[in-house]
Amino acid sequence: MEFPQQQKPTGDGKIVYPPGVKEITDKISNDEVVKRLKMVVKTYMDMDQDSEEEKQQYLGLALHLASEFFLRNPNKDVRLLVACCLADIFRIYAPEAPYTSHDKLKDIFLFITRQLKGLEDTKSPQFNRYFYLLENLAWVKSYNICFELEDCNEIFIQLFKTLFSVINNSHNQKVQMHMMDLMSSIIMEGDGVTQELLDTILINLIPAHKNLNKQAYDLAKTLLKRTVQTIETCIANFFNQVLVMGKSSVSDLSEHVFDLIQELFAIDPMLLTSVMPQLEFKLKSNDGEERLAVVRLLAKLFGAKDSELASQNRPLWQCFLGRFNDIHVPVRLECVKFASHCLMNHPDLARDLTEYLKVRSHDPEEAIRHDVIVTIINAGKKDLNLVNDQLLGFVRERTLDKRWRVRKEAMMGLAQLFKKYCLHHEAGKESALKISWIKDKLLHIYYQNSIDDKLLVEKIFAQYMVPHNLDTEEKMKCLYYLYACLDSNAVKALNEMWKCQNMLRSLVKELLDLHKLPVSEANNTAMFGKLMSIAKNLPDAGKAQDFMKKFNQVLGEDEKLRLQLETLISPTCSCKQAELCVREITRKLTFPKQPTNPFLEMVKFLLERIAPVHIDSEAISALVNLLNKSIEGTADDDEEGVTPDTAIRSGLELLKVLSFTHPTAFHSAETYESLLQCLKMEDDKVAEAAIQIFRNTGQKIETELQQIRSTLIPVLHQKAKRGTPHQAKQAVHCIHAIFNNKEVQLAQIFEPLSRSLNADVPEQLITPLVSLGHISMLAPDQFASPMKSIVANFIVKDLLMNDRSVGNKNGKLWTTDEEVSPEVLAKVQATKLLVRWLLGMKNNQSKSANSTLRLLSAMLVSEGDLTEQKKISKSDMSRLRLAAGGAIMKLAQEPCYHDIITPEQFQLCGLVINDECYQVRQIFAQKLHLALVKLMLPLEYLAVFSLCAKDPVKERRAHARQCLLKNISVRREYIKQNPLAQEKLVSLLPEYVVPYMIHLLAHDPDFTKPQDYEQLKDIKECLWFMLEVLMTKNENNSHAFLRKMVENIKQTKDAQCPDDTKANEKLYVVCDVALFVIANKSTACHLECPKDPVLPTKFFTMQDKDFKNDKDYLPADMRQMLLTGKPKTAPVLATVNKPLTVPGRRIFKTTTASDTASNASTNSPLSSATNNKNSNAATESSESRAQENNENPVINNEDGKKEEAAQNMTPDATTEATPAKRRGRPPRSTAAASPAAEKEGGAPAGGGGGRGRKRAADANSNPLAESISIKMSKQQQKNDDGTKRQIDLQR
């Protein structure tokens, strides 16, 4: 606007004052000036814009009031009154101000602005005048006149600073509104906002200023909201200068840009419309710290509760998500922390975040993996619906993280979710069902080797799954239904947990017992051994040993402490008593002056493990009451998600497990009455569990509970005679365990059963055979003699040597238990009876063990068809082979029988692990592992696992390797913990398995050509399968020891056939392959070995000093081929349902007439094969259990029982499948068999010579041996060139 010409005052230039107002000059006092100005103010207040006459009349006064006298007057009241007059003058003369000088206008507005500072004190007597001044300026928009001034910005900056500085919480809404109107008009009606003016607004948003003056922040916030359309461009320009162009000098606020962006976004995202793309540019900066700052900012923007930035600016959101993969660790960490708020505030973005969190859950940085878990768990604890199954799956994976901190966080997080949603049902059944897997997963972790994991699982179980601080009934209800809902592996883990705690209690009890003995060297040694065993069950074994020694010292000095500990581990200790004992022991060991006491922490770990916080007599009674309610149908089974039958069965199983660990807690008439009711139930499993509980807990029944005794005895007799096989076994053991007159009781069962044996009714034979077998094992002195005639006349002659029924000729190798014929089940139990009878006798004076071993060997040689009448089905033959292999292995656990097992019988037994049937291999390997890991089987049986290298199924090979690792670690640990074990190193040291392995492989039926590359490659694979595990560490120069051992074997002969040149050559070839493998895998094997290995004389002859074998049986070209590899041209062995191969080899077989007959879908030979790791991995990943038994894949139904899937039969499946070369049993003939001969029962040509062939009977055979003979088919007799095929069980 144009300023008008200076208006002339009326008359001769004399100033006209309102009526009653005298002249105002510097000659009068301030009080008089104030008095006269008040009247002037009143006059101007009453004037309006239409008063033209008055406007002209008082023009001179208006000009006079703008003089220096007034503008620079030292009196505050004068300045205020003048400011009010000037504000009214601008109102009255608007739109044309009476002042034409730019400098004068600037002075006037700066003067008025200074007066506005008086608004600060609302309690001032003059506050109303200050408010009037503000109101007048805002209403008239007087400051808009300044737009025409060149330096108007100075005025506006001063005004904004003044207003932001004076506003406070004592101002009412009107004051704030007028300030807002005044400032917004300047912004909205001007040509733009300069950077300096923008700074005066934005500085109030910086956190430091924001906290100093909240009202200034609110004023700035409101101002920006009102002027968003105008000011947005200025804001964008500011951020563009700083962020993109890097001109930090444009403003003092440059260093606060990210704080400002956050605040501006919170005020109105529209303010940053043009700024957000600039942040995308900054996210890609080369400076890691800069990216971190931008990520922190955007995390707050995207994560804000009502933010729609992610949906409105997808490119920026995608760019931000890319920072989850940033190379800078702090950036990734910040992204992960952001995810928690984002999941809580924006569930719709969970899908976008999931994939990135998945990658970060595998981040190499421990802190990031840890924070991923925290992020997901925090969101889940707020609302389970915020986290999808994938996110929970990431936490599940991290429970197996390599770092303890991460594993702990994952486990504790899942435990908290379980307690919140499954135990307390805070979000209903649907949420509980969503995470029902947590309970199983947490317990599965108990399988881990780390003691820290085990201790944490125990803690989680006691605090989150079954909280120990609940009252007994509620606590047992939790346990009862939890146990019913667990999967089988979780149940085993929970049982193992109780077992470990019970074992630790036993160790502590033994330690306390040692304290009662007089001090001696032997006592100290024994005490040290107990302390070491206890320390192994605590975290940080090194520190635990030291702390346990200290604890033991305190126990020796403090008798009261010992008494407290004795009470704690007493079988009669209640849960409440246990809490008091733990508290008292902890109090005694607490030292107030020590803020941290690691010794006390370690003792607490021990006390937590041994204290009975869940189970006591009261708890068992509560469990039994719950069981009774389930039986009566009055329990809450359905509400808890289990059927009554499941609840009853699992409840009995739970009580059975607790009967092992807390037997004294069961001793009450009410408990036993309930168990007797369970014995009468139709559910076989329930009755079996009830009997076992009686067996474990009923030692005092005979003396203290006569009524229970009188009711129990007939029930046990009935179960032993007509119950299921498992019930019969438990009934016999129960009678033997709890009754004093057990001889009479067992005789009353034995006699009627032995008289009623009838092979023509096999269905009724199984239970009697089980009972008779266990009776003869438990009371051998009483029943050994009568059992001998039963074995000779009935078991062998009548049952095992006769096939009364014809099996199902469907070609399957395995069927479910329900489909096995009763006759075969009876034969399996008969085989077990023979073993139990021998185990009871524990001597071989009558040579019965020799006869039995030959019988079992014959069963393996004949592939399970002992009579060779071909009546028995293939699946039943598999059952009998498994029974025979298991029986030999069971007998080998008894030293007197192990000594008489011949190498041939050992080899036959071992080859079962390469049986053609997957289930036979699987079950046999499991039995073998369990016996070895308990150190019950001799070391030579560990060599059998080397044959697993030939298994075509990857999971079987992996299982075998895990078994080897476990067994070797157990043996090494046993040697370390037991000083006396040094005397038995030959039978304990894992390295001593190598001679047995070499001998076993030298007699492998598939190893027929010592110089054949494919066969040698198989031998190498088997050797390396074992040696790889043995040679993981070179402890005590073990590599050189292995080399020397193999070299020593080359200087001996095969004791099994010392004069057989070919057999010895095969032995030496295997030795050379072993030396080749050892030398290629270790550089330390060539060192000197001071120890001279001892070789087993049962397998190798004594070294002859005159015999020196320095021949190299492995040519250089063969060594090269074994080292570099060669395509395989033939399968390792052909089986009925799948060709077996060594690990990593492509499965195929050449097409022959016999092959075509057995499997029409066989692949054609491959023209070439590579031997690289990729092809191996591809081959192994394609192998599966279903492929292995492709004729009869077995699957699990909902009840956990195996059942047949739809068969994928070959064209000839309706007829008997063509016999192929069978792994695990030697060939029936050394002559080459034609396809026609194979169809008639012959075997393909192969190695093994005559090993395992049936031999003629001796003239002096005993009655048991005379009762056994096998008739041969004519075709088989022809194949044997007239050799008699009669088994001598005495030889």
CA dist., res. 487 & res. 445, Å (int) = 13
What are the structure tokens assigned to 60, written together?
């001179």
What's the pLDDT score for residue 1153?
35
Local confidence band at 486 (pLDDT 50, 70, 90 cut-offs): very high
CA dist 1170 → 735, 950, 1021 (Å): 63, 19, 17
Do β-strands 1202-1204 and 1194-1196 pair in parallel, antiparallel, or remain unpaired? antiparallel
Local confidence band at 593 (pLDDT 50, 70, 90 cut-offs): low
Is the pLDDT assigned to residue 587 strictly greater than 80?
yes
CA dist 808 → 493, 873, 921, 964, 1215 (Å): 39, 5, 22, 37, 11
Other CB atoms within 10 A of residue 1206 CB? 6
Is the pLDDT assigned to residue 1287 strictly greater than 70?
no
What are the structure tokens assigned to 273, written together?
């419309």
What's the pLDDT score for residue 503?
93
Is the pLDDT assigned to residue 982 strictly greater than 90?
no
Secondary structure of residue 1054 in the 3-state scheme = strand
CA dist., res. 1199 & res. 303, Å (int) = 47
3-state helix, strand, coil in the chain (%, to 5): 65, 0, 35
Other CB atoms within 10 A of residue 1138 CB? 22
- Return the higher-pLDDT residue of 610 and 268: 610
Residue type, 968: I
- The β-bridge partners of 1100 are 1054
H-type helices in 1141-1289, by residue range? 1153-1158, 1173-1182, 1185-1188, 1235-1239, 1263-1266, 1274-1279
Closest by CA to 1246, choosing from 918, 1015, 945, 1074, is 1015
Per-residue pLDDT reduced to its tens digit, 769-805:
999 999 999 988 888 788 888 888 888 888 888 888 8
Torsion of CA 216, 217, 220, 223, to 10 degrees: -100
What's the pLDDT score for residue 1232?
34
What's the pLDDT score for residue 592?
67
DSSP state of 989: -
What are the structure tokens assigned to 553, written together?
């010292």
Closest by CA to 167, choosing from 225, 116, 113, is 116
What are the structure tokens assigned to 984, written together?
């038995």
CA dist 590 → 301, 344, 617, 882 (Å): 50, 43, 31, 59
The H or E element that residue 713 is part of is helix 706-722
The H or E element that residue 769 is part of is helix 766-778
CA dist 617 → 51, 666, 674, 1018 (Å): 105, 6, 15, 59
CA dist., res. 961 & res. 1026, Å (int) = 8
Local confidence band at 742 (pLDDT 50, 70, 90 cut-offs): confident
CA 966 to chain centre: 20
Residues contacting 221, CB < 8 A, separation 6+: 205, 267
Secondary structure of residue 894 in the 3-state scheme = coil
By CB atoms closer than 10 A (0-12, 13-18, 19+), residue 704 is exposed
Is the pLDDT assigned to residue 1161 strictly greater than 80?
no
By CB atoms closer than 10 A (0-12, 13-18, 19+), residue 958 is middle
Report the chain's C-alpha Rg in angstroms.
47
CA dist., res. 448 & res. 450, Å (int) = 6
Determine contact, residues 935/977, Cβ cutoff 8 Å: no
Per-residue pLDDT reduced to its tens digit, 690-714:
999 999 998 888 888 888 888 999 9
What's the pLDDT score for residue 916?
92
Per-residue pLDDT reduced to its tens digit, 1205-1252:
333 333 333 333 333 344 444 433 333 333 333 333 333 333 333 333
CA dist., res. 739 & res. 665, Å (int) = 20
Q: Which long-range contacts (CB under 8 A, 24 or more apart) does 126-131 make?
A: 126/77, 126/80, 129/80, 129/81, 129/84, 130/80, 131/174, 131/175, 131/178
What are the structure tokens assigned to 176, written together?
């704030």
Per-residue pLDDT reduced to its tens digit, 201-229:
888 888 888 888 888 888 988 898 888 88
Determine contact, residues 575/472, Cβ cutoff 8 Å: yes
Number of residues in the chain: 1291
Is the pLDDT assigned to residue 2 strictly greater than 50?
no
Determine contact, residues 1021/1142, Cβ cutoff 8 Å: yes
Is the pLDDT assigned to residue 1130 strictly greater than 70?
no
- Return the higher-pLDDT residue of 1266 and 914: 914
Per-residue pLDDT reduced to its tens digit, 442-461:
999 999 989 999 999 999 99
- Return the higher-pLDDT residue of 77 and 466: 466
- Return the higher-pLDDT residue of 20 and 615: 615
Per-residue pLDDT reduced to its tens digit, 884-894:
999 999 999 99
Per-residue pLDDT reduced to its tens digit, 225-244:
888 888 888 888 888 888 77
No. of helices (H) and no. of strands (E), the chain:
62, 2
State mean pLDDT over 943-966: 92
Closest by CA to 218, choosing from 162, 179, 274, is 179
Other CB atoms within 10 A of residue 1027 CB? 23
Per-residue pLDDT reduced to its tens digit, 517-542:
888 888 888 888 889 889 988 988 88
What's the pLDDT score for residue 60?
73
CA dist., res. 688 & res. 227, Å (int) = 84
CA 190 to chain centre: 66
Other CB atoms within 10 A of residue 629 CB? 17
What integer best gives the mean pLDDT of the chain? 80
Provide, rounded to the nearest whole percent, the portion of the chain with pLDDT above 70: 85
| Residue 574, phi-psi category: left (phi > 0), alpha (psi -120 to 50), beta (remainder) | beta
What's the pLDDT score for residue 77?
82
What's the pLDDT score for residue 1251?
34
CA dist., res. 118 & res. 132, Å (int) = 12
What's the pLDDT score for residue 852?
92
H-type helices in 47-121, by residue range? 52-57, 59-65, 68-71, 76-92, 102-115
Mean pLDDT is lowest, of 409-418, 736-745, 855-864, for 736-745
What's the pLDDT score for residue 804?
84
Mean pLDDT is lowest, of 579-588, 713-722, 838-847, for 838-847
Determine contact, residues 92/48, Cβ cutoff 8 Å: yes
H-type helices in 361-487, by residue range? 366-382, 389-398, 404-417, 428-434, 437-444, 451-460, 472-485
Local confidence band at 1181 (pLDDT 50, 70, 90 cut-offs): very low
Determine contact, residues 1052/1102, Cβ cutoff 8 Å: yes
Residues 31, 35, 39: CA angle, nearest 5 degrees:
165
Per-residue pLDDT reduced to its tens digit, 824-851:
999 999 999 999 999 998 887 778 889 9
* Residue 591: HSE in the Cβ half-sphere, 13 Å Cα cutoff: 9
What's the pLDDT score for residue 1254?
32
* Residue 1180: HSE in the Cβ half-sphere, 13 Å Cα cutoff: 18
Local confidence band at 755 (pLDDT 50, 70, 90 cut-offs): confident
pTM: 0.72
Residue type, 23: E
Other CB atoms within 10 A of residue 214 CB? 14
Closest by CA to 530, choosing from 554, 559, 557, 503, is 503
What's the pLDDT score for residue 227?
87
Mean pLDDT is lowest, of 262-271, 916-925, 1227-1236, for 1227-1236
Mean pLDDT is lowest, of 102-106, 347-351, 401-405, for 102-106
Local confidence band at 308 (pLDDT 50, 70, 90 cut-offs): confident
Closest by CA to 216, choosing from 229, 228, 205, 231, is 205
DSSP state of 402: S
- The β-bridge partners of 1202 are 1196
What's the pLDDT score for residue 126?
85
CA dist., res. 439 & res. 445, Å (int) = 10
Determine contact, residues 1047/1075, Cβ cutoff 8 Å: yes
Sign of CA dihedral 553, 559, 561, 562: positive
- Return the higher-pLDDT residue of 870 and 980: 870
Q: Which long-range contacts (CB under 8 A, 24 or more apart) does 1149-1155 make?
A: 1152/1235, 1153/1235, 1154/1218, 1154/1220, 1154/1235, 1154/1238, 1154/1239, 1154/1244, 1155/1220
State mean pLDDT over 193-206: 87
Local confidence band at 50 (pLDDT 50, 70, 90 cut-offs): confident
What are the structure tokens assigned to 1096, written together?
């087993």
- The β-bridge partners of 236 are none
CA dist 301 → 44, 156, 817 (Å): 52, 32, 64
Local confidence band at 594 (pLDDT 50, 70, 90 cut-offs): low
Local confidence band at 13 (pLDDT 50, 70, 90 cut-offs): low
